[in-house]
Amino acid sequence: MINKLMIRIRGYEFKRPCAVKIIWLIKLMRGLLAKKFYFTLLILVLHMASISFAVDAIAEPSTENYSDTLHVGVVGDTGVGERAYHPGFIAVAKALKNHRPDLLLHLGDFVYQPKIFPKACPERHLPEIKKTLADPFKFKLFVPGDNDLPPNKKKPKGSGCWKKIDEMDSNFDSYPTSTDEPRIYEGTMIIGNTFFAILNTYPWEDPTAWLGPRIKKAKNQGLWTIIALHEPPITTAWYLEKRDTVLKQLTALKPDLVFAGNQHSYERFHQIKEPKQDGSIPFVPSKSGDYLKGDGTIFVVSGGGGAYFRPFADQQGLKKRTAPKAVFNALATRALMNHFLILKIGQEKLQATTYRVCLEKNTKDKKNPRWKPDKPIWDSITLECEGQKPGVTAFDQFQIQLKKESTLKDKTNSDQLSLRN
């Protein structure tokens, strides 16, 4: 998501049509510079024009009015390529399209190709990505996954397709130049009543300096705030210690929601606040899935768009990658399944539904949705769709509501918990 068709004049970035007007005006007035009066007039006109055009160039919400409800589809790890379960991806993509969301938020990993250190992006996969994940949706926000970026020692099978995939999504909103700028592949977009931020995990860098002021402004405007990145700040699937880094940095920004992919599973955590020095994680539990805006941040891991299912680390008996008790305590639900989410974002309520996608049995299909299906560990692990009827059904639902005076009066001490590691 690169800001295309932009020209920098007098410290501002302008959309090309605006910049062309300014340049034309400069050329027109050059012939009048012989007289001092016209020179003064030129400076005045240019100053007024720069203010007018700069206002036009600064980020604004989409021109279409989504003041009632914005519909957002969320999916991750769709896995077009040889190292994924293609029937699962096709079923998820079809169901997503049928919901007709205004925006598709993709959490990364579009391509799973088999070669080690490929010399170039295998472009044979790009037409299908465009047809299924770009063309059907008016707005697209894509997160770079490690399988989309160029290969490296940690990810030798990286496809190197990101630049071509990035061209398929919507551009970030543009802002006046400032000291703190987002890095490449990072940026923000406002659509209707919601502020979205896309972050690049590879490598991770604290976004607080540039993202903090934008989120603060969005909150002051009454917008919902959502952050998306690829590698989860918190997960029980394959645990990496991030409580004192990524998790703390993002919870300090106090967004309403944080979405991540990478892990080929579904996980939703309760509203979380900044982790404490002793490793404990304050959170607000809710059996019903009802939360109040401002009480914390809900973290969701959604990586079931078509990639092979991989058992959670604790299911594999891998102690090194098994999450600590404090993380499990904050977990609301998890599952191994093909899935996607639909968000219905209104002025006073954000509603989310996670849809389970179960396929019909196909005796001709020789592929297995499980990662390394011959491993004995699968004997004791049940996929969410096993024993379920084929089709698309709601698996998980939660909502965040604005706080009202009556609610605040009735709410005494919230049942926030802070459990030690």
- Between strands 103-106 and 139-142, the pairing is parallel
Cα 262 to the center of its chain, rounded Å: 12
Domain ranges of the chain: 6-57, 69-419
CB-CB contact of 125 with 161 (8 Å): yes
- CA–CA separation, 401 vs 403, rounded Å? 6
3-state secondary structure of 86: helix
Q: Please report, as a single letter, which amino acid is at residue 400.
A: I
CB-CB contact of 189 with 170 (8 Å): yes
Task: Look at the block and give the residue holding tokens 């982790």.
Answer: 275
For helices 246-253 and 208-220, what crossing angle results, to 10°?
A: 30
* pLDDT of amino acid 387: 92
Q: Helical H runs in 221-312?
A: 246-253
C-alpha distances out from residue 290 to 83, 122, 285, Å: 38, 44, 9
Closest of 350, 353, 363, 348 to residue 402, by C-alpha: 348
CB-CB contact of 316 with 263 (8 Å): no
* pLDDT of amino acid 61: 42
- Digits of tens for pLDDT over the chain (421 positions)? 544 444 444 444 444 444 445 444 445 445 544 445 555 554 444 444 443 333 333 334 444 555 589 999 999 999 788 888 999 999 999 999 999 999 999 999 999 999 999 999 999 999 999 999 999 999 999 999 999 999 999 999 999 999 999 999 999 998 877 778 999 999 999 999 999 999 999 999 999 999 999 999 999 999 999 999 999 999 999 999 999 999 999 999 999 999 999 999 999 999 999 999 999 999 999 999 999 999 999 999 999 999 999 999 999 999 999 999 999 999 999 999 999 999 999 999 999 999 999 998 876 777 889 999 999 999 999 999 999 999 999 999 999 999 885 454 444 444 444 444 4
- For residue 418, report the phi and psi dihedrals to the nearest 5 degrees: -130, 100
- Topology (CATH) of 69-419: Purple Acid Phosphatase; chain A, domain 2 (3.60.21)
Which residues, listed in sequence order, are joined to residue 338 by a DSSP beta bridge? 357
Residue 279, class by beta-carbon neighbours within 10 Å (0-12 exposed, 13-18 middle, 19+ buried)? Answer: middle
CB-CB contact of 174 with 11 (8 Å): no
CB-CB contact of 173 with 197 (8 Å): no
Residue 397, class by beta-carbon neighbours within 10 Å (0-12 exposed, 13-18 middle, 19+ buried)? Answer: middle
Measure the CA angle with vertex 86, ends 83 and 91; round to 5°. 150
Q: What is the pTM of this model?
A: 0.83
Closest of 237, 225, 263 to residue 109, by C-alpha: 263
CB-CB contact of 304 with 239 (8 Å): no
- CA–CA separation, 124 vs 144, rounded Å? 19
Measure the CA angle with vertex 205, ends 202 and 209; round to 5°. 145
* pLDDT of amino acid 80: 87
Q: Please report, as a single letter, which amino acid is at residue 103.
A: L
- CA–CA separation, 323 vs 312, rounded Å? 10
- CA–CA separation, 139 vs 141, rounded Å? 7
Closest of 154, 202, 198, 188 to residue 59, by C-alpha: 188
Q: Which helix (H) or strand (E) holds 196?
A: strand 194-198
* pLDDT of amino acid 165: 95
> How long, in residues, is the chain?
421
- Between strands 349-358 and 391-401, the pairing is antiparallel
Q: What percent of the chain is helix, strand and coil (3-state, nearest 5)?
A: 25, 25, 50
* pLDDT of amino acid 179: 74
Sign of CA dihedral 358, 139, 61, 171: positive
